Structure formats: C-alpha cells, structure tokens
Amino acid sequence: MLIVETQRSREVMQTIRAALMRDWDPIGVAEIPEAADEYDSYIGSVYRILAGTLSEDELVEFLYRTETETMGLSADSRERVREVARKLLTLDVSL
C-alpha cells in the first residue's frame, strides 16, 4: 500500500509541476528542458492549498506574492494569476 501512495504522490507532484510550468511560468522558462524543476519549491504550497482549502483567492494570493515578493517580478495582473489558479483548481490531487 505504501508503494502505491508513494507512486500517487509522485504523480500529483508531476501534475502540479507541469501545470506551473505550462500555465504559470512567470519567468518564461517553459521551453528550456534544463529548467523543468524551476518551480519545484512551490509545489508543496500549491498542493496544500489544492488539497486543503481549495480557495481560489488563497491560491491567487500565493502565486501573486511569489511572483512579486519572492521572485521580485512585476506581475502582469491578478486576473492573469486568477486564470492560472482556476486551472490549478481543476487538478486531481487526491492521494
């Protein structure tokens, strides 16, 4: 049973990783294979929101703050980030 849970948790991590790279990608590295792990440090926080509160606003705030405060970028708009959050909220992250 533990092996199945571990496999599923890896699948969930990969799903979130792919979505962050495909849909969010604030620094524009999606086309660089060596950068596939660029957003991995944010997967845990995204997972906790998706598996916990499922709050669109909380996810928007996390992504927006990550862009502006952590990465030091000037985010396009909260609406663009909200579109990303809505896509993330459709992911199946059940273990």
Per-residue pLDDT reduced to its tens digit, 10-48: 999 999 999 999 999 999 999 999 999 999 999 999 999
Q: In this structure, which amino acid lies at residue 57?
A: D
Q: Model's pTM, two decimal places?
A: 0.90
* Sign of the C-alpha dihedral computed for residues 23, 14, 63 and 48 taken in this order: positive
| Residue 25 to residue 65: CA distance in whole angstroms | 14
Per-residue pLDDT reduced to its tens digit, 58-87: 999 999 999 999 999 986 788 999 999 999
Q: In this structure, which amino acid lies at residue 55?
A: S
